[in-house]
Amino acid sequence: MTTPTAQPTLRLVDLGRHLWTRRTQFALFVGTVTVLSIAVTYALPYWYRSGAEFTIEAGPTAANASSGVLGIASQLGLASLAGGVPSVNYYEEVLGSDLVLDHVALGALPADSQATRYLRTFSVGHVADTPRLRDEARQRFQHHFGTSTNGRANTISFWVEARTAYAARSAADTILAVLDATITSIRRQRASAERAFLESRLDTALQMEGAVEDTLRSFYLHNRIINTPDLQFTEARLKREVDFALQLTLQLRTQVEQARLQEVRDTPVVSLVAAPELPGKRSWPRRSFVALSALLASAACYAVWIMLRLVLPLAG
């Protein structure tokens, strides 16, 4: 009966000794790979990043809901509890929509400060005039765009990359301008629908006000002397109905005027916290990162190669 022989193992000391004996070859391999990786970065396209941080000005509805429990719910981002007041997450979705981003993803951006040359970076130099080309341009753009929100400060941040520093800043400015116009348009459409509804309710309230006032006038005409408890009670009830109708009419008139003002309001709704700036350095490629990654990867590959050369003879 034969006893099984122990399998030889490779220790780290042995691996380190073999790497030391081949240190010249190891340094040459690692250095060559690192230098080649850095050289490749000069052939890669450059990208520059710009962005902004902003907040959205609250509309009349949000201002009315900013007190008490509704205000707390709005600050916590619970728009449904705050009377339908949009939260920063809603505006982040608007910012990331095709309606806003297509102006950059499918459009042309100035490549220099004088705007003498324009680039269609994401549509690959041509007009995206088919659904497939538009989808491809949007997919390319999504790799060079990002957003974030700060729920406590109610601010939204975004960044966008382009092939030149001026194009990156122009892209950020374009996104801000289109976002402002889009939110203004959404608020105008909502204000128009709200105005139409309030005007119909105001007409109904005016008719009700006239009816209860006619009822009170008729009561006074038929009851010149009000000295019984039943007549006094009827008079008080009719006065309450008239007061309620007057208050309802006044409130509806105020809301109608607010809706009309919001419908024609053209003041900017985007308030900048940090405006887009001209980037001073490229965001990609980062040669220090590429060099470090190439150095570590090549060293690991060389160590694995030495390990395989040592393990295979031992296993045989």
Percent over 70 (pLDDT), the chain: 85
Mean pLDDT, residues 213-240: 89
**Cα–Cα distance, 77 to 63 (Å, whole number):** 15
Instruction: Give me the CATH number covering residue 157.
Output: 3.30.1890
Whether the per-residue pLDDT at 73 is higher than 80: the answer is no
Whether residues 64 and 149 share a domain: the answer is yes
Band of residue 312 on the pLDDT scale cut at 50, 70, 90 = low
Q: Is residue 15 in a domain?
A: no
Q: Is residue 90 in a domain?
A: yes
Tell me what pLDDT residue 86 has.
78
Q: Which residue has the higher pLDDT, 173 or 62?
A: 173
Count CA atoms closer than 13 A to 196's CA, side-chain side.
5
Q: Is residue 17 in a domain?
A: no
Q: Is residue 279 in a domain?
A: no
Q: Is residue 316 in a domain?
A: no
Question: pLDDT digits over 4-25, tens only?
Answer: 544 455 566 767 777 778 888 8
pTM: 0.72
Whether residues 97 and 150 share a domain: the answer is yes
Whether residues 176 and 88 share a domain: the answer is yes
Q: Which residue has the higher pLDDT, 288 or 182?
A: 182
Q: Which residue has the higher pLDDT, 265 or 209?
A: 209
Whether residues 296 and 256 share a domain: the answer is no
* Range of lowest pLDDT (56-60, 70-74, 90-94, 164-168): 70-74
Count of structural domains within the chain:
2
Band of residue 275 on the pLDDT scale cut at 50, 70, 90 = very high
Whether residues 39 and 59 share a domain: the answer is no
Question: Does residue 136 contact residue 126 with C-beta atoms inside 8 Å?
Answer: no
Whether residues 86 and 191 share a domain: the answer is yes
Whether residues 179 and 81 share a domain: the answer is yes
* Range of lowest pLDDT (43-52, 122-131, 230-239, 265-274): 122-131
Whether residues 31 and 79 share a domain: the answer is no
Give me the chain's average pLDDT, please: 83
Q: Is residue 311 in a domain?
A: no
Whether the per-residue pLDDT at 219 is higher than 60: the answer is yes
Whether the per-residue pLDDT at 66 is higher than 60: the answer is no
Whether residues 263 and 294 share a domain: the answer is no
- Tell me, letter by letter, the H, E, C secondary structure of the chain: CCCCCCCCCCCHHHHHHHHHHCHHHHHHHHHHHHHHHHHHHCCCCCEEEEEEEEEECCCHHHHHCCCHHHHHHHHCCCHHHCCCCCCHHHHHHHHCCHHHHHHHHCCCEECCCCCCCEECCCCCCCCCCCHHHHHHHHHHHHCCEEEEEECCCCEEEEEEEECCHHHHHHHHHHHHHHHHHHHHHHHHHHHHHHHHHHHHHHHHHHHHHHHHHHHHHHHHHHCCCCCCHHHHHHHHHHHHHHHHHHHHHHHHHHHHHHHHHHHHCCCCCEEEEECCCCCCCCCECCHHHHHHHHHHHHHHHHHHHHHHHHHHHHHC
Whether residues 134 and 185 share a domain: the answer is yes
Band of residue 59 on the pLDDT scale cut at 50, 70, 90 = low
Whether the per-residue pLDDT at 132 is higher than 80: the answer is yes
Whether the per-residue pLDDT at 284 is higher than 80: the answer is no
* CA torsion through residues 39, 42, 44, 49, sign: positive
Whether residues 269 and 246 share a domain: the answer is yes
Most confidently modeled range among 19-23, 109-113, 131-135: 131-135
Whether residues 211 and 238 share a domain: the answer is yes
**Cα–Cα distance, 138 to 145 (Å, whole number):** 10
86 preceded by cis ω (within 30°)? no
Whether the per-residue pLDDT at 224 is higher than 50: the answer is yes
Q: Which domain holds residue 294?
A: 23-44+287-301
Q: Is residue 280 in a domain?
A: no
Tell me what pLDDT residue 9 has.
58
Mean pLDDT, residues 80-98: 77
Q: Is residue 217 in a domain?
A: yes
Tell me what pLDDT residue 113 has.
80
